[in-house]
């Protein structure tokens, strides 16, 4: 016998099979937006030793946070900054 509600949530086996195409697109867009917002923190926090610190800990040091944000931006566009010929040499 199947348990009541089984498969009705996305986290359970078979939970997405009844989800319409519309909601799949909505959820993908949400995930994409969330990933773009959280990725810089994933890059910056280990560089400055904030791996176990919440975001509010970064607010204590504004200059350090600005430096980390700048380094995250450079990290994100690093492939565009290096000329194609130099990338081949690396």
For 16-61, the pLDDT digits (tens) are: 666 788 888 999 999 988 888 787 777 777 776 666 655 555 556 6
For residue 7, pLDDT over 60 is answered with no
**pLDDT score recorded for residue 9:** 59
Question: Residue 68 burial (CB < 10 Å; 0-12/13-18/19+)?
Answer: buried
**pLDDT score recorded for residue 1:** 45
**pLDDT score recorded for residue 6:** 52
For residue 83, pLDDT over 70 is answered with yes
Backbone φ and ψ for 7, nearest 5 degrees, come out as 85, 10
Six-digit token string for 42: 């994933």
């Amino acid at each position: 016998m199947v348990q009541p509600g089984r498969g009705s949530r996305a986290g359970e086996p078979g939970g997405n099979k009844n989800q319409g195409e519309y909601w799949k697109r909505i959820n993908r867009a949400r995930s994409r937006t969330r990933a773009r917002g959280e990725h810089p923190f994933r890059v910056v926090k280990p560089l400055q030793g904030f791996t176990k610190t919440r975001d509010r800990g970064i607010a204590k040091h504004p200059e350090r946070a600005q430096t980390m944000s700048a380094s995250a931006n450079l990290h994100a566009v690093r492939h565009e900054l290096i000329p194609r010929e130099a990338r081949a040499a690396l």
